[in-house]
Amino acid sequence: MKGPSETTPDRTTVSNSFRRFQYSVTTQADRRRVWETYLNLENWRGFANIYGEMKWTQGQPWTVGSRLQIEVVHPVEAIVERSILVCIPGWQLGWTETGMGVTIAQWVSFDDEPIGGTRIQTAGQISPSDVVIAGKSVDHLVKVFTETWYENLRPSCDTGFEMLNGRC
């Protein structure tokens, strides 16, 4: 049995540690538009350049208990399994994701802003947090990925908002 921070042949280190992360963006689009944009897997390659094939392997998409298999092609090739834990349409999603020796539990909420638009907030935990993938800590990779993904989601929602309101 391995103790905290022992070296393994396929990963740099393994430990019982975890890290929390959070990020939020605000878009001009209404919650319905943001929800639809978020759930459409065809949009995801435009949010981050890590995706290969993505397919639902169990259950109806985005329902509790459903599973999504995601092929990661960058920075390394891997398969990640996402299991949906919570889905309150238009309001909240939650899942666990496993792959590359890491488990991530993540929640996303979609909240109306008082002056219009939607605030998208995500938070989660990475365990173990000290795994190194392609020479970078998983903590760093998740931080950069999350910022990139949500910052690219925002204009996608806003463009749709502008088109719906005749400004584009």
Render pLDDT for 8-52 as a digit per residue (tens, 0 to 9): 334 444 455 889 999 999 999 999 999 999 999 999 999 999 999
Per-residue pLDDT tens over the stretch 75-120: 889 999 999 999 999 999 999 999 999 999 999 999 999 999 999 9
Residue 30 within any structural domain of the chain: yes
Residue 6 within any structural domain of the chain: no
Question: For residue 17, what pLDDT is reported?
Answer: 83
Question: For residue 167, what pLDDT is reported?
Answer: 31
Cα angle vertex 91, ends 123, 165, to 5°?
110
Residue 67 within any structural domain of the chain: no
Residue 121 within any structural domain of the chain: yes
Q: Which of 47, 50, 49 shows the shortest CA–CA distance to 155?
A: 47
Residue 62 within any structural domain of the chain: no
Per-residue pLDDT tens over the stretch 115-164: 999 999 999 999 998 899 999 999 899 999 999 999 999 999 998 544 34
Indicate the number of domains in the chain: 1
Residue 26 within any structural domain of the chain: yes
> Which pTM does this prediction carry?
0.82
Residue 127 within any structural domain of the chain: yes
Structural domain containing residue 112: 19-42+85-164
Residue 156 within any structural domain of the chain: yes
The CATH number that applies at residue 107 is 3.30.530.20
| Alpha carbon distance 5, 27 (integer Å) | 41
